Structure 1
């Protein structure tokens, strides 16, 4: 199958062009292309492209704002209830602060895991921040990812961050705009162009 974007000849089973990365499933088949002549295409339908670094960074910022609001709404009432119960049992202020900090960190980690994993494996295929920008998380063939792959992608982000965020910076320099966590989970982040 020839790509309507760049004219590259791909396997008939390919979902994305190996030459330019455009989704082959949304492209019209031109008359010359169907016969295998490789003729240029004059009209290209809306297609998916690999989402670049800046789109993904903006989606991350939006998601962090949303996730922070969710965490505050959940953590503040729990923190007050925990602090009140600990104070009633005779705990010191330092003990209450220590437990509250640990609970806040655990809650943030669990809410972040749940937020990213559930949204990216849902029918949306994206978090609310990604969805606002028209981004979707797919497997290498453009299909929806399952909960297990979304889970692996989320925990792989820790490795991307631990390596001085080089795992994230890779998005700007790799051919398919993949970060280290995308490569580990065999995923792509694509956008409608």
Structure 2
């Protein structure tokens, strides 16, 4: 089992359970330090996770295990605020606006809208003709709508599972998307997070507004996917390799 350690507002690890127990016994770790492992909803004191471990000075000190190395650049797990995420989304909307516009023109969405307006004028108050006009519009606009949905999915899922851990908007504001332990997420989890946004939007946008009042600033889609949006950019590949060494 792997354990993450929280000390002075920073996250360190993961470490093997045996290492953490040894550090507790030797005094390298305090029982008041925080710990987290897969399956826990939140960080807990090490005294709660390992109540049986106590620091008892031995008569003849044995060879101590290597002390934990605390990376100086380990990012704190500070969640991004509601308005920061709104600003990031607006930037992403601008990034996607031009390609969505091009897809709409190439795949006939604008022509379908013009045809719908003309059909509505000709239909007048006839509900049957209005229904036929709407069906014709949906049929004509479907390729463009599907292409735009595909673009949005790939944009968010690929960016948030990349080394950036963020879309262009989040990157610009110094934010990143992680799992509940602050780690980089994969493409499958990023995809699940994206499609869970449909549910957040379907319930009158309440799923997005939940970011403003939940404890870890999670929207409904974050709770479903098991993700966080944190302050601080993701470490670069060079920095990570240095820490791993």
1:106 alignment partner, SS class: helix
Runs of 4+ in structure 1 off by over 6 angstroms are none
Determine which structure has greater relative contact order: mean sequence separation of CA pairs < 8 Å that are 6+ residues apart, divided by chain length: 1
The match for 1:88 is none
State the shift of 1:48 in Å.
Answer: 4.5
What is the distance in 2 between the residues matched to 1:146 and 1:152? Answer: 10
Superposition deviation, residue 9 in structure 1: 2.8
Residue 190 of structure 2: aligned partner = 150
TM-score, length-scaled by structure 1:
0.69
Distance 1:5 1:143, change over 3 A: closer
- Report Cα offsets for 1:30-88 as digits up to 9, x if no partner: xxxxxxxxxxxxxx9874510110000000111011111121233323439x99xxxxx
Rounded Cα–Cα distance in structure 2 between residues aligned with 1:183 and 1:13: 18
Q: Normalising to structure 2: TM-score of the pair? A: 0.56
Question: Is 1:59 equivalent to 2:88 in the alignment?
Answer: yes
Larger-Rg structure: 2
Alignment partner for residue 160 of structure 2, among 98, 117, 120? 120
Partner residue of 2:43? 18
Shift of 1:173: 0.4
Q: Which has the higher strand share?
A: 2
**Alpha-carbon distance in 2 for matches of 1:179, 1:141:** 17
Deviations 1:76-131 (A, max 9, x none): 23439x99xxxxxxxxxx79855442222111211111111111111111111111
Q: Distance in 2 between matches of 1:189 and 1:55?
A: 10
Label 1:111 to 1:49 Cα distance change in 2 as closer, same or farther (>3 A).
same
CA RMSD of aligned residues (A): 3.1
Partners in 2 of 1:69 and 1:47 — Cα distance?
A: 36
2:98 to 66, 69, 81: 69
Alpha-carbon distance in structure 1 between the residues aligned to 2:75 and 2:184: 19
Which consecutive unaligned segments of at least 5 residues does structure 1 have? 20-43, 84-93
Following TM superposition, by how much is the alpha carbon of 1:163 offset from its aligned partner in structure 2, in angstroms? 1.1
Does the CA-based 8 Å contact 2:36-2:43 persist in structure 1?
no
Distance 1:102 1:45, change over 3 A: closer
